[in-house]
């Protein structure tokens, strides 16, 4: 139950931050906002301030910023549809940007409290293949599969690269520095969803506040790159559809992270926030990216996309997205048993 509550709070926070981005830029742009809602479904409580109603709704599965004329016809001069293209562009873009800003802030908090990973071994996972091979705590990992390790995350990337061209039963050579002496170990990793693991965790070092800010930006950028890598692997078939997770999978992972402390939960919050931002920027109907694209098109060509056609395409896209979420959710439920 605790995990579900944490998941609901996290999801509501991410959606509220996202919709607040749309809301604040719409207000600054002079676009009329009819309602700012946290949650969906029946209204629990609301308060009218000026032209905007602020409401809390029963179902904690989302929220919205209802702008005048965004999804229907309106003759109001301050409607979304009557605003200049650049204002509409910035208003829609602000949602994903707020999620990225949140990610940077929370990654910064995590870095300041937890430190940053070094290239030295700070611990081992259960059944660690590295530990079995003879690697010990404080060994500094220099290379994996003849590729240098400049950052601890390079271990995973180098393992992936090695086993793209080699069979899974072939040992990978891991070089370490121990007491100013280099040592080599041949290791056959464990595999999960075609991902290779040697079972080591990083030794952490403390960082100052300014360095933590830099690490917040760096980690956000790294996660953005990771998402595009995963999407590329899905389209090329290197990663199976089963690797995707929906709401059930996310709740399960929150439970896993909660067992490892608050910082792990916060890190996962940032990771989901980056995911929400990146996926919303994809120019697919029903996502923010679609409206960003059409507004950008209008800014460049000075021609508007036919609204009726755009509405029909958006409905079709929404149905496709709901279907995908349903399929992934069913898959996640089956994996629980």
Same domain flag for 14 and 99: yes
Same domain, 81 and 177: no
Task: Determine, yes or no, domain membership for 292.
Answer: yes
- Confidence at 245, pLDDT banded by 50, 70, 90: low
Domain of residue 154: give its range.
117-205
Q: Which sign, positive or negative, has the C-alpha torsion 306, 64, 248, 281?
A: positive
Which residue spans within the chain are E strands per DSSP? Answer: 33-49, 52-67, 116-124, 140-144, 147-148, 172-178, 181-187, 190-192, 195-197, 200-205
- Of the three residues 187, 205, 223, the one that is the final residue of a domain is 205
The CA distance from 297 to 301, in Å, is 6
Pair 106, 128 in one domain: no
Taking the C-alpha atoms of residue 152 and residue 159, their distance in angstroms, rounded to an integer, is 12
Average pLDDT, integer, range 144-172: 90
Residue 191 in this model has a pLDDT that exceeds 80: yes
Residue 241, pLDDT score: 62
Q: Is 310 a catalytic residue?
A: no
Q: Domain end: 154, 170, 205, which one?
A: 205
Tell me if 253 is assigned to some domain.
Answer: no
Does any domain span residue 11? yes
Dihedral sign (CA 219, 222, 224, 227) = negative
Distance CA 285, CA 333 (A): 27
Same-domain pairing of 29 and 75: yes
Give the whole-angstrom CA distance, residue 96 versus residue 287: 10
How, if at all, do strands 190-192 and 195-197 pair?
Answer: antiparallel
How large a percentage of the chain has pLDDT more than 90?
57
Q: Residue 258: its pLDDT value, please?
A: 67
- One domain, residues 19 and 107: yes
Burial 274-298 (b: 16+ CB within 10 A, else e): bbbbbbbbeebbbbbbbbbbbbbbb
pLDDT by residue (tens digit) across 37-55?
A: 998 889 999 999 999 999 9
Task: Look at residue 237 and tell me if it is in a domain.
Answer: no
pLDDT at 171 over 90: yes
| pLDDT tier, 336 (very low <50, low <70, confident <90, very high otherwise) | low
Confidence of residue 62 (pLDDT cuts 50, 70, 90): confident
| 188, burial (CB in 10 Å: exposed 0-12, middle 13-18, buried 19+) | middle
> pLDDT band at residue 202, thresholds of 50, 70 and 90?
very high
The structure tokens listed for 302 are 């000075």
Q: Are residues 104 and 80 in the same domain?
A: yes
Q: What angle do CA 293, 295, 297 make, to 5 degrees?
A: 70
Residue 256 has pLDDT above 90, yes or no: no
Residue 131 lies in a domain: yes
For the chain, report the end-to-end CA distance as a whole number of angstroms: 18
Mean pLDDT of 70-79: 86
Q: Considering 205, 225, 244, which residue would you say is the last residue of a domain?
A: 205
Q: Report which of residues 7 and 273 the model is more confident about.
A: 273
Confidence class of residue 101 from pLDDT cuts 50, 70 and 90? very high
Return the higher-pLDDT residue of 248 and 204.
204
pLDDT tens-place string over residues 110-120: 999 999 999 99
Mean of pLDDT values over 50-61: 90
Mean per-residue pLDDT, 164-182: 92
Overall average pLDDT of the 205-225 stretch:
94
The residue that leads in pLDDT, 4 or 286, is 286
Between CA 264 and CA 106 the distance in angstroms is 11
192 within some domain: yes
Query: Taken in order 229, 234, 235, 238, is the CA torsion positive or negative?
Result: positive
Q: Do residues 104 and 148 share a domain?
A: no
Mean of the per-residue pLDDT values of the chain: 88
Instruction: Clarify whether residues 132 and 87 are in a common domain.
Output: no
Question: Is 102 in the same domain as 124?
Answer: no
Are 33 and 78 found together in one domain? Answer: yes
Copy the structure tokens of residue 295: 């507004």
- Out of 62-76, 202-216, 249-263, least confident range: 249-263
78 neighbors 47 (Cβ within 8 angstroms): no
Residue 226 has pLDDT above 90, yes or no: no
Task: Tell me the C-alpha distance between 324 and 137, whole Å.
Answer: 44
**According to the model, what pLDDT value does residue 242 have?**
63
105/139 same-domain check: no
Nearest to 139 by CA among 190, 179, 196, 197: 179
CATH number of the domain bearing residue 145 = 2.30.42.10
Total count of domains within the chain? 2
**Residue 240: inside a domain, yes or no?**
no
Q: Is pLDDT at 179 greater than 90 in this prediction?
A: yes
Domain co-membership, 106 together with 7: yes
- For 124-156, what is each residue's pLDDT tens digit? 998 899 999 999 999 999 999 889 999 898 998
Average pLDDT over residues 264-282: 91
pLDDT value at position 260? 72
- Per-residue pLDDT averaged across 2-11, rounded? 78
Residue 247 placed within a domain: no
């Amino acid at each position: 139950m605790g995990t579900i509550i944490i998941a609901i709070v996290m999801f509501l926070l991410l959606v509220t931050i996202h919709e607040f981005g749309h809301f604040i830029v719409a207000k600054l742009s002079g676009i009329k906002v009819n309602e700012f809602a946290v949650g969906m479904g029946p209204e629990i409580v609301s308060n009218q301030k000026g032209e905007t109603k602020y409401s809390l709704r029963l179902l904690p599965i989302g929220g919205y910023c209802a702008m005048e004329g965004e999804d229907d016809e309106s003759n109001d001069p301050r409607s979304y549809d009557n605003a200049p293209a650049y204002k509409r562009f910035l208003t829609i873009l602000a949602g994903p940007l707020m999620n990225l800003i949140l990610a940077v802030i929370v990654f910064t908090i995590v870095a300041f409290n937890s430190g940053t990973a070094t290239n030295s071994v700070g611990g081992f996972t259960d059944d660690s293949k590295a530990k079995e091979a003879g690697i010990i705590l404080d060994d500094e990992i220099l290379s994996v599969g003849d590729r240098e390790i400049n950052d601890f995350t390079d271990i995973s990337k180098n393992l992936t690269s090695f086993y793209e061209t080699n069979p899974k039963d072939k040992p990978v050579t891991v070089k370490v520095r121990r007491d100013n002496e280099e040592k080599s170990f041949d290791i056959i990793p464990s595999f999960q969803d075609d991902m290779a693991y040697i079972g080591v965790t990083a030794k952490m070092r403390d960082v100052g506040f300014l360095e933590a800010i830099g690490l917040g930006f760096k980690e956000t950028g790294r996660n953005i790159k990771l998402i595009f890598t995963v999407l590329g692997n899905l389209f090329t078939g290197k990663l199976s559809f089963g690797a995707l997770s929906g709401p059930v999978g996310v709740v399960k992972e929150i439970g896993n992270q909660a067992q490892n402390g608050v910082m792990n939960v916060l890190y996962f919050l940032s990771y989901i926030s980056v995911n929400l931002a990146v996926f919303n920027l994809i120019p697919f109907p029903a996502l923010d990216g679609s409206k960003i694209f059409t507004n950008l098109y209008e800014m460049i060509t000075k021609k508007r996309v036919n609204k009726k056609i755009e509405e029909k395409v958006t409905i079709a896209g929404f149905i496709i997205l709901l279907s995908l979420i349903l399929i992934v959710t069913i898959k996640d439920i089956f994996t629980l048993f």
